[in-house]
């Protein structure tokens, strides 16, 4: 069964749309299934979509796609409010999954708890690859400002969540994400 990628990031300015489209095409080339919220015309084609209940439909469609995905590729830029919410939602779901698994592992399981544990294991196994395409990350700052701890302004809470979701890696470079996706596609995990 092919793994499914959820592609999260800003999609409002034209440049962000082009970047998401490029990322989508590169994921498609690897041969993985994906959900790119920008491509969901049922909620994003404003010329054909009613505003009645639109926010609720967007949240449902994107949340369902997050839960159904095996991998999340996310660029949590500070101006991308929806993406920041997705990042927090993913962190919360993963924290909850760990708690549910702990309850399941330390108690006599009933059928309902077993189903909850299956869902929690899926969410807990979900891979998340944050990336942050800002040229200031590697611009010539001083020696005491290196990597993602420079004054470019990455919110340290956001960075901490990314560190937690990636077992201490933080942000990946896009080429690293593509390599990881290829390994996943080839069952190298």
Q: Domain of 13: which CATH number?
A: 3.40.50.450
Question: Residue 145: which pLDDT band, with cuts at 50, 70 and 90?
Answer: low
- Specify if 9 maps to a domain: yes
- Specify if 50 maps to a domain: yes
Percent of the chain at pLDDT > 90 equals 53
Between 111 and 64, residue with greater pLDDT: 64
- Specify if 44 maps to a domain: yes
Structure tokens at 151: 């004054």
Between 156 and 184, residue with greater pLDDT: 184
pLDDT at res. 157: 84
Assess contact for 24 and 7: CB atoms under 8 A: yes
Structure tokens at 121: 């294991």
**This prediction's pTM:** 0.76
- Specify if 119 maps to a domain: no
In sequence order, the β-bridge partners of residue 6 are 35, 72
- Specify if 109 maps to a domain: no
- Specify if 101 maps to a domain: no
**Which residue carries 């993985």 as its tokens?**
32
Number of domains in the chain: 1
- Specify if 162 maps to a domain: yes
Domain containing 60 equals 4-87+126-185
Between 184 and 151, residue with greater pLDDT: 184
């Amino acid at each position: 069964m092919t793994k499914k990628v959820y592609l999260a990031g800003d999609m409002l300015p034209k440049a962000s749309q082009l970047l998401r489209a490029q990322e989508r095409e590169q994921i498609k080339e690897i041969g993985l299934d994906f959900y790119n919220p920008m491509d969901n015309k049922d909620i994003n084609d404003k010329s054909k979509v009613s505003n009645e209940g639109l926010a609720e439909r967007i949240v449902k469609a994107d949340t369902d796609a997050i839960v159904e995905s095996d991998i999340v590729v996310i660029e949590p830029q500070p101006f991308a409010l929806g993406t920041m919410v997705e990042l927090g939602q993913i962190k919360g779901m993963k924290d909850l999954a760990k708690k549910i698994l702990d309850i399941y592992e330390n108690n006599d399981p009933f059928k309902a708890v077993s189903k909850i544990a299956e869902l929690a294991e899926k969410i807990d196994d979900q891979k998340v690859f944050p990336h942050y395409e800002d040229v200031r990350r590697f611009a010539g700052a001083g020696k005491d400002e290196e990597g993602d701890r420079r004054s470019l302004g990455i919110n340290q809470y956001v960075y901490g969540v990314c560190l937690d979701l990636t077992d201490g890696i933080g942000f990946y470079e896009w080429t690293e994400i593509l390599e990881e996706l290829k390994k996943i596609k080839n069952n190298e995990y």
